[in-house]
Structure formats: structure tokens, C-alpha cells
Amino acid sequence: MGRWCEVRVRFHEPPADLRRYFTSFYRVEFDCPDGPVEDALQPEWAGLRFFDNPVIVSSIAGGDTIAGTDFTAMGPTSLPVRFQLATSRMWGIGLQPLGWATFMDMPAHEMANRVCDGRRESAFARFRPLADQLTADPAREAEELGIMARFFAQEAPRADAEDERILLVHQLLMDPELPDVAGLAERAGLHPRTLERLCRRAFGFAPKKLLRRQRFMRSLAQFMLDPSMKWIGAIDALYFDQSHFVRDCREFLGMSPSEYAALDHPILTSVMRERMRVRGAAVQTLEMPR
């Protein structure tokens, strides 16, 4: 049994004029009386996290490890991001694919499966003025929500024009009955090669991997919300059989379903349940873009 951590999280809807760019703005307080705890983020879209003190250590399999920063940033992921933190507070911002294309000046695939120190990585330098203003103090919650809204509405550099195809493809990816890339391309009205380029640029991965990740995350979210149902009851209808699901589990989580089920999730489970209650989706990747 791992160390215990009390997690208090509040999700906030972005202002209407920014909603299509972000999943949510959320503030979290971590109270870890027995010392640092460990957990892992599941595959998700890009995100920015601003801490009140540099207590976090983050790493991604076969890639980056960062420590001692108050600003962590990551591109879209298809692998778990392990982290360790102690008692602290943070603001988190989930970047939708359209948000990445709007507020970042590099293709998403160049930052896919990367976790970075936002104070050092030049790609995220544009967000450092925001990091300097955020404390995640509950007494300043409303004020700091306003700071984030003003920053993205008025101050942050952004692309000259939005590509409407990004939002359309994102909405189509949410369809649990969409079976393959050919169907996605047809419904989006795009040539398969055009779809491939668009997905890598804005979503971070090829469309085939995006569809597989969505299918897997639907199953994983269902299991995490109700572990009593066992994996067999959570497996998405688009899986051919259980072995097909096990292969995806090893790819996206780096372990078997039984190994994952045996782990403690002192932070993630609390956040997922509150996200489901407030947002209607347990994980960031399953939130319908608006």
C-alpha cells in the first residue's frame, strides 16, 4: 500500500471565447502528510501545470525526466507520465489540439511524449509570464482565473488563423463507433494523406494511433471509475478480443492490465472521479471539444 494523499480539486470552465482551445482550468491542493507520493498520468492531450513550489519530479518512459521546477509542460502523450510530489498546490490547463495549433508555434508531433521544464524549454517560453503570476492560493482563485483568461484572450501569441478541420476531426474522434482511419477521413472530407499531416501537426500522432488511444482510454476510464467490474467488463466494443486489449495496454501504459490494476493511484483516482462528476468525462481525452 502506498502513501496516502488528500486531493482537493476544482474544475473551471474556460470563458466562452476560449472554450474551444482548452479542456478546463483546474486548481488542485495536495496534502501528503506522510511525505511525497507517486502516481502516473495516463495518455492525454498537452498540458501546462503551475505549482506553488518546485516539489515535483516527472518522467516519461524512455524519455525526459525533470525535477525542481514550478512550471511543467508536456506535449500530447501516448505513454504514462510518472510523477512524484509532496504537499503543494497547482493550477493545470489542458490544451485541446486546436489550442495547441493556436498558441504553440511548433507542430505537436515534435513535442509528443515529451515532458519539459517550462522555465527552460524554449517552446513554452511564451507561458512564463503567466507562470510568474499564479500561486494557486485558494484565496486568490477567482483573481487567478481572471489572470489566465486575460492572458490567453489578450496577451498570449497566437496563430493568425484557425484551421476549422482540427475541431471537426477532434469531434469525430469522440465517436465510439468510428472503426478506422478510412472512416475518419471520409467523414472529415479529407484525403488520407491530408488527414495524416493534420493529425501529426495538431494532435501529435497519426490518425491510427489516435483512434487506438481513444478506444483504449474509453476502456481504462471505465475500469478506473469502477474497478469492481474487472477488465473484461470495461473492454471497449471495438476490441476484437481480450488479447487485443492487452497489447494496447502494454503499449499505452507499459504493463499488463493486471499489473496496472495492482497499482495505487493516490492522486489520479480522486481527480478522475471529480472530473467525471463536474465535466462528464473521467479523462481529458474523452471530453467533447466545444
The residue with greater pLDDT, 219 or 76, is 76
What local confidence, expressed as pLDDT, does residue 230 receive? 67
Same domain, 118 and 51: yes
Residue 171 covered by a domain: yes
Per-residue cell: 143: 483573481
Same domain, 116 and 211: no
Residue 1 covered by a domain: no
Residue 20 covered by a domain: yes
Domain that holds residue 73: 6-155
* The pLDDT of residue 50 is above 50: yes
Average pLDDT over residues 45-57: 94
Query: Cα separation of 275 and 41, whole Å?
Result: 14
Same domain, 189 and 96: no
Residue 123 covered by a domain: yes
Residue linked to cell 476502456: 219
Same domain, 146 and 169: no
User: Which CATH number fits the domain that encloses residue 115?
Assistant: 2.60.120.10
Q: Which residues contact 165 (CB under 8 A, 6 or more apart)?
A: 188, 190, 198
Average pLDDT over residues 258-271: 89
Rg (CA), the chain: 18
Same domain, 180 and 278: yes
Q: Are strands 81-85 and 37-41 parallel, antiparallel or unpaired?
A: antiparallel
Which of 20-29, 48-57, 212-221 ranks highest by mean pLDDT?
A: 20-29
Q: What is the DSSP letter of 155?
A: I
Taken in order 203, 205, 208, 210, the sign of the CA dihedral is: negative
Orientation angle between helical segments 181-188 and 192-202, nearest 10 degrees: 90
Confidence of residue 3 (pLDDT cuts 50, 70, 90): confident
Confidence of residue 2 (pLDDT cuts 50, 70, 90): low
Confidence of residue 197 (pLDDT cuts 50, 70, 90): very high
CB atoms within 10 A of CB 288: 12
Residues 131 and 73 sit within 8 Å (Cβ to Cβ) = no
pLDDT in tens, 89-111: 999 999 999 999 999 999 999 99
Confidence of residue 65 (pLDDT cuts 50, 70, 90): very high
Same domain, 120 and 180: no
Same domain, 32 and 79: yes
User: Which CATH number fits the domain that encloses residue 275?
Assistant: 1.10.10.60
Same domain, 249 and 196: yes
What local confidence, expressed as pLDDT, does residue 149 receive? 98
Structural domain count of the chain: 2
Average pLDDT over residues 196-218: 97
Domain end among 155, 173, 202: 155
Q: Which residues contact 143 (CB under 8 A, 6 or more apart)?
A: none
> If DSSP codes are grouped into helix, strand and coil, which group holds residue 82?
strand
Average pLDDT over residues 3-15: 95
What local confidence, expressed as pLDDT, does residue 55 receive? 80
Confidence of residue 226 (pLDDT cuts 50, 70, 90): confident
pLDDT in tens, 137-147: 999 999 999 99
What local confidence, expressed as pLDDT, does residue 8 receive? 97
* The pLDDT of residue 231 is above 70: no
Orientation angle between helical segments 164-173 and 207-225, nearest 10 degrees: 50
Same domain, 116 and 10: yes
- Please provide the DSSP assignment of 167-236 as one string: HHHHHHHT-TT---HHHHHHHHT--HHHHHHHHHHHTSS-HHHHHHHHHHHHHHHHHHH-GGGHHHHH--
Same domain, 221 and 108: no
Average pLDDT over residues 47-73: 94
Same domain, 149 and 218: no
Average pLDDT over residues 63-84: 96
Average pLDDT over residues 190-194: 98
Same domain, 206 and 149: no
Confidence of residue 1 (pLDDT cuts 50, 70, 90): very low
Residues 25 and 36 sit within 8 Å (Cβ to Cβ) = no
